[in-house]
A and B are shown apart, each in its own frame.
Chain A
Amino acid sequence: MADAPLLELRAITKRFPGVLANDDVNFDLRRGEVHALLGENGAGKSTLMNILYGLYTPDSGEILLDGKHIDLGSTKAAIEHGIGMVHQHFMLIPVMTVAENIVLATEPRHMGVLLDYDAARKRVRELSERYGLAVDPDSRIDRITVGQQQRVEILKALYRGAEILILDEPTAVLTPQEAQELFEIIRSLKSQGKSIIFISHKLNEVLDIADRITTLRRGVVVDTIPAEGATEESLARMMVGREVLLRVDKHASTPGAPLLQVEDLSVIDDRGLEAVRDVSFEVRGGEIVGLAGVDANGQSELIDAIAGLRNPAAGRVVVDGHDLTHANAKEALEAGVGHIPEDRHRRGLILPFSLTENIALHGYRTPPNSRNGFLNLGTMLSRARRLLKEFDVRGGQPSTPAGALSGGNQQKVVLAREIDGDPKVLIAAQPTRGLDVGAIEFVHRRLVEQRDAGRAVFLVSLELEEVLSLSDRILVIYEGRIVGEFPPTATEEELGFAMTGGKRGEEAAA
């Protein structure tokens, strides 16, 4: 090693009841580098960083800063040592301004009691100019975008004198554009001598931004390697411990009859605005049609209208010849619409319910799950057993509450329920959001299987890569309109251009 590390974590071990979260972990950070910490969900990344941020005390091991042993008993101690953390879920007060949030707890004051707002605003402005983090100090937090909120979090850490910044899954909440902007910010911070620990499970991001990469698997460091020379494949193998198929393996599609037909559909959103405008398309049996678009361009409203969760203002939805335009969720389900919802916690699962009950969520009202209003628990249980096995759900038995599973396993439960319902049309909304490489591979394989079984799969995703690798045809939505249709051979640039309203696709959808 050329220069001595700024920060060193030596032989950190942390045990929770029944779990060894960190096992003899060594990690170091050099001044001015971006060091990525890579690992699947539950690999121990967050535990390690929470130790570094003073939230947990390690059972053994030590932390050295500039070669000197330091004790981090609290987050206050961590901040005093120049360590700042941006959590995945922001810790901001929505009704206060950007400047107020940043100076909170260390406010500049008039006469010791009154907030010196002008001074606060001035310091925030200085900081944001110095590091290229554009935010308006006077905006209220609840009126700015998620990307801007994240900048506020970074500024807050810098304001408190952070030299080392921990970014915990910072891109999870960002659109692709916002993620690119974040990377610019990270590069700018790096050039000014800040050291950054970047936690992620997204391989392309890590390769893009990091100087070195440390991979954790089941609490143990697999290796620390320079980013240069690493590939997505090699990182995935380190993370998961086996070969992972990153590209989806599928043959050409053999589309059959149209199973989902959407005609001139318009949908009004919760704010009373027209979120979906005159949308027409069809999905045939045996094909995957992907819908690409930047978040909040009408995707959610379109899905809701098809699934019977929102009444369209105009147009028609037809599933296998049945008019479902004004159907409710129950009628849509009965007509054969399977729906993997974009938010599995809000919609897909009832977290305190057992896996058995969650798997029965659509089928409970019909035989053999129930008869004459009485549940048939035996049937429900055996169906749950079979599906948990078939979909390789780990970490839970049929009686386990869904909330106790990891995200990937929760998604498998949703997938199992929707696929087992034998749908004609399967809507997959953000089916791999928040999942790690192994689980993503699983979900993708299952979706292709559904296509090959002759079902119509409608994939809605914010991940361009996912849309490109799974779809047989790609539609792009922008401000509620379908602005183009592309073959799967299209490039990310072409799609990205259409997604931001740049230009109509070669052939606008009918």
Chain B
Amino acid sequence: MSDADLEQAPPPLPPGEVPSPSQQLTSRFGGLSGVVAPIITTVIAFIMGGLVVLFTGKNPLKVYHAVFNGTGINWFFHVGNHHARVPFSTHKMWFPWDTASIAAGNLQQTLLLTTPIILTGLALAFAFRCGLFNIGGQGQYTAGTIFAVWLGTSFVHLNPFLHVMLCLIAGTLAGAVWAGIAGILKATVGAHEVISTIMLNWIAYWVGSYLFGEGGPLQGSQPSIPISNDIAEGAKLPVFWGIALLQGLSVGIFIAIGMLVVYWLIINRTTLGFEVRAVGFNPEAARYGGVSVARNYFLAMAISGSFAGLAGALDITGWEYRIGENDIQASSIGFIGLAAALLGRNTALGAGVASLLFGALINGTSGRQLDPSIFRPDLAGNLTTIIQGLVILFVGLNLGGIGLWLKKRRKPA
């Protein structure tokens, strides 16, 4: 730091006054270092993932390049003279990118995956802001999918707009109720939310398995196949890019992005967000300030769960259209959301970017996208898990804290 930097560095300290450790720590809550640490975290995770690739005898750069191409993000780099159909019409217009290329298809898949990760990430982030660890994003997501499928396969003659809205709202509320149970338990008897949400995850898992399993009440019309019927056409979200039959991109991504804005608004601009953050940082001071801590624990969990529930409903109405026993048991979207929230530091923008990273990574390493001659996709899937795990590990370690520790001898106590 040059002298000029010192002159300008806020807040100004009177001479002789030593910056407190908390002052150094608070830099974590904002400013440049708040962005730098997650980036370093990600880079280190990728380097270590690269080492794993190296051990398998492959070239990590080549593998990462192939993964990158599989994500479809390379689509943005191929600018040319193209025509694109204006969504929901037959008109065509000039467009700098080729909307029908392979990369475009890949990008659609990446964004489809990003959609629920954003929402489960927001779910985790909202609870974190209130000092709660909602590890039940998975169960709340499942609750959302169950209700979306149930209502989507019922009322087949309903007005399409009403039908899809019904599915989305019901899924959202289902997630809110599922998390709200943990919130009420926390607020009234002090049951730890980690324990109760994990238990609720398993309840959702088995309830879902029963409902869609063989002989279950929501199993489809084909006996011996443990999958639900498809939801009605009217319950499907419009696909605006690509073809619905080939898993094109639905407008769900815009709903997710809209929720990022809603999250930011609630946290930073409303009295509710103020209370949630106050309780998250210091419940005793919040109580002294006239905030009902119990009420906020309940509300924060319910709102958190509604994000996860909406994620489930969007997946059903956006591209899955049906759900099977296997899907419920194999899904781990709630836990990917956890990684996204941690990496994104519980901010709207951070969670959005981190979700895109994980969505791209999962899609880029999936068997459908990755060329088997470059890296075996089954290994590549594990690579994703490794990188995801490393990210959580490093965020847990708190790189900023390590940096402080290393500098401790030079800084005042």
Contact = CB atoms under 8 A, between A and B. Distances in A.
Interface of A: 16-21, 42-44, 46-47, 50, 55-57, 217-220, 307, 309, 328-330, 332-333, 339, 341, 346-353, 357, 360-362, 364-365, 370, 373-375, 377, 394-397, 400-401, 403-404, 406
B22 A217 contact: no
Contacts of B271: 364-365, 370, 373-375
Given A329-B288, A353-B281, A361-B289, A16 B412 contact: yes
B16 A42 contact: yes
A373 B413 contact: no
Contact of B9 (A18, A21, A56, A346): A18
Contact of A347 (B19, B273, B288): B288
A270 to B, nearest CB: 13
B315 to A, nearest CB: 31
B277 interface: yes
Given A349-B285, A406-B17, 15 more contacts: A16-B18, A16-B410, A43-B16, A44-B18, A46-B412, A55-B409, A218-B14, A330-B290, A330-B292, A341-B288, A347-B288, A350-B282, A351-B281, A351-B282, A404-B19
Interface in B1-45: 1, 6, 9-20, 22-23, 25-26, 29
Given A16-B18, A352-B29, A339 B6 contact: no
Nearest to B28: A352
B281 A352 contact: yes
Contact of B413 (A46, A217, A332, A348): A46
A307 B15 CA distance: 39
Nearest to B15: A218
Most chain B beta-carbon contacts within 10 A, residue among A43, A46, A217, A364: A364
Interface string B131-167: 0000000000000000000000000000000000000
Contacts of A364: 271, 274
B411 interface: yes
Contacts of B281: 350-353
A47 B18 CA distance: 9
Contact of B284 (A42, A332, A346, A353): A346
Contacts of A332: 290
B285 A348 contact: yes
A403 B284 CA distance: 16
Contacts of A333: 290
B16 A219 contact: yes
B16 A218 contact: yes
Contacts, number: 145
B269 interface: yes
Interface of B: 1, 6, 9-20, 22-23, 25-26, 29, 269-274, 277-278, 281-282, 284-292, 409-413
A403 B412 contact: no
B9 A347 contact: no
A196 to B, nearest CB: 21
B360 to A, nearest CB: 32
Nearest to A400: B11
23 contacts: A16-B410, A17-B411, A18-B9, A21-B412, A44-B16, A217-B16, A218-B14, A219-B15, A307-B288, A329-B289, A346-B285, A347-B284, A349-B285, A351-B22, A361-B285, A365-B290, A375-B269, A394-B14, A395-B11, A401-B26, A403-B25, A404-B19, A404-B20
A19 B19 contact: yes
A50 B410 CA distance: 12
Contact of B19 (A16, A44, A307, A329): A16
B272 A373 contact: yes
A404 B13 CA distance: 10
A57 to B, nearest CB: 8
Nearest to B278: A350
B99 to A, nearest CB: 39
A357 B280 CA distance: 14
Contacts of B288: 307, 309, 329, 339, 341, 347-348
Nearest to B290: A330
A307 B289 CA distance: 10
B292 to A, nearest CB: 8
B19 A18 contact: yes
A350 B286 contact: yes
A403 B288 CA distance: 18
A349 B26 CA distance: 14
B290 A328 contact: yes
A77 B272 CA distance: 54
A362 B278 CA distance: 11
A333 B292 CA distance: 13
Contacts of B282: 346, 350-351
Contact of A329 (B1, B287, B412): B287
A397 B10 contact: yes
Contact of B22 (A47, A350, A362, A404): A404
A21 B10 contact: no
B196 to A, nearest CB: 25
Contacts of B12: 395
A172 to B, nearest CB: 16
Given A16-B19, A404-B20, A362 B409 contact: no
Contacts of B29: 352, 401
A373 B265 CA distance: 11
A351 B287 CA distance: 15
Contact of A352 (B6, B26, B272): B26
Contacts of A362: 289-290
A362 to B, nearest CB: 6
